[in-house]
Structure 1
Amino acid sequence: MKLIYLLITMTIMTNPPQFNFGSKNNTDTWRIVNDDVMGGKSNSKIEEKENSIIFKGHTSLENNGGFASMRTLIPKGALKECKTLTIRFKSVNTSRSFGISLKSSQKYYIPYYKFTFSPKSDDWQELTIKLSDFDYYKISEKMEDSMPLDALEEVFNIALIISDKEEGNFDIEIDYINFE
C-alpha cells in the first residue's frame, strides 16, 4: 500500500515538495535507514503525532556506525525551481547536530548535498535555508563549499539525518519541511 501511495504522490507532485506532518499527512512515504545497512548498531523510528512527527533513536559508534536517518523520494526535477527549504522543529537534544541531505544517486559513494543545524532550545524553531548554502559531501566528508543550483534538477531523495559522530539518544519533532 505504501508503494502505491508513493507512486501516486510522485506522479501528481508538480509543485515544490511540501511535507506537513501529522497522523494524516505525508508520513507514509518516509522510511528509516540506519547505519545497520553497513554493519553499525544505531537504531531509530518515526512516531506520528496529530500535527507532527518525532524522529528519535540512539546512535552508536560501534562497528564504525554513527548515523540514523529518515528519507523519502521525490520526482527528479521537483526542486528545479526551488531556492529555499523551511523546516519547523523542536528537540530536547540541543547538543546534537542534525542534517538535511539531498541526493541524486542511490550509490553511497556518489557525492550528495547537506545542510547541518543544531537546535538552539527545546521550543519550536523555524529555520529557512538557501539551497545554495547546502554543502557538498562524499561519504560524510565535506568536499566543496556549496551545491550548484543546477544540481537540484537531479535530486530525488530527501533525508533528515543525524551523523554527528556522537553516541547517544536523540529526538527531533518536525512540524513541516517545505521547499519554495
Structure 2
Amino acid sequence: MTSLFDFAQSSDAAKWQIVNDGVMGGRSSSQASIVKLDTGEDAMRFAGNLSLENNGGFASVRSRPSGSLGLDPGETIVLRVKGDGRRYTFNLYTPDRRTAFSYQMEFATTAGQWTEVKLPVDQFVAHSFGRRMANMRLTPSQVQSIGILLGDKKPGPFEILIDSIMVQ
C-alpha cells in the first residue's frame, strides 16, 4: 500500500482546510487537528457541530491541492478511522471541478471502534450541490485533493479520527 496521508507530524494539519455550510449561510462548525493516540501514533481529528439552521447541514475538511495524487483506475482508497456511528462522505476533487463539485462515496463508521474502510476509486460518483451527475466519469490521475464531509441531516456534535489514508 502507498500512503497518501499519515498525519505523522503536527504540521500536517496545515495541508488541510475546513469548508462548512457557512459558505452558503449555514451555521455548522468544525475544526481539524493532529492528535496523539493512546498508542503514541498521530491521527487527524475532524470534529464539530452539525447545524441545520439557516439552510445549513454540512461540515467538511479537505486537503489543499498540490498536484496529482497519482491515483490509477482499479485502485482502492483505504482509510483507518475511528468514528461516532455516523455516515460520512469521502470526496475526490479534480482541477476542472465547478463550485460544489466532487466525486463521492459514502462510508459508515462504528462508534468508538477503529475500522478499515475500502473505497474503490472506480465506484466514486460525480455530485454537484449534493445532486448526482449522470454520465460523468472520474479520471483518477486528475485527482488533486481529497476530503471528508458530514451531511447526514442529523444536527449535533460529531467526531471522526483518521489514522491513515492509503492506496492499494
Q: Give the structure-1-normalised TM-score.
A: 0.79
Taking the aligned partners of 1:71 and 1:23, their CA distance within structure 2 comes to 17
CA 1:22/1:49 → structure 2, altered by over 3 Å: closer, same or farther? farther
Displacement after TM superposition at 1:137 (Å): 1.0
Taking the aligned partners of 1:143 and 1:122, their CA distance within structure 2 comes to 34
Residue 64 of structure 1 aligns with which residue? 55
Displacement after TM superposition at 1:18 (Å): 1.5
Q: Deviations over 1:54-113 (max 9, x none)?
A: 10001111111111111113444333426110100012x21x21111012245325x420
Taking the aligned partners of 1:175 and 1:161, their CA distance within structure 2 comes to 16
Residue 130 of structure 2 aligns with which residue? 140
The answer to whether the aligner puts 1:31 opposite 2:20 as a matched pair is no
The answer to whether the aligner puts 1:154 opposite 2:146 as a matched pair is no
Give 3-state SS (helix, strand or coil) of 1:28's partner. helix
Flag structure 2 segments of 5+ consecutive residues without an equivalent.
Answer: 37-41
The answer to whether the aligner puts 1:175 opposite 2:129 as a matched pair is no
Flag structure 1 segments of 5+ consecutive residues without an equivalent.
Answer: 1-15
Taking the aligned partners of 1:121 and 1:113, their CA distance within structure 2 comes to 26
Displacement over 6 Å in runs of 4+: none
Taking the aligned partners of 1:134 and 1:65, their CA distance within structure 2 comes to 24
Residue 77 of structure 2 aligns with which residue? 85
Q: Percent identity?
A: 31
Give 3-state SS (helix, strand or coil) of 2:122's partner. helix
Q: Any conservation in 1 of the 2:93–2:143 contact (CA below 8 Å)?
A: yes
Instruction: Tell me the amino acid that sits aligned with residue 165 of structure 1.
Output: K
Taking the aligned partners of 1:64 and 1:163, their CA distance within structure 2 comes to 12
Instruction: Tell me the amino acid that sits aligned with residue 71 of structure 1.
Output: R
Displacement after TM superposition at 1:38 (Å): 1.3
Taking the aligned partners of 1:166 and 1:29, their CA distance within structure 2 comes to 28
Taking the aligned partners of 1:163 and 1:58, their CA distance within structure 2 comes to 11
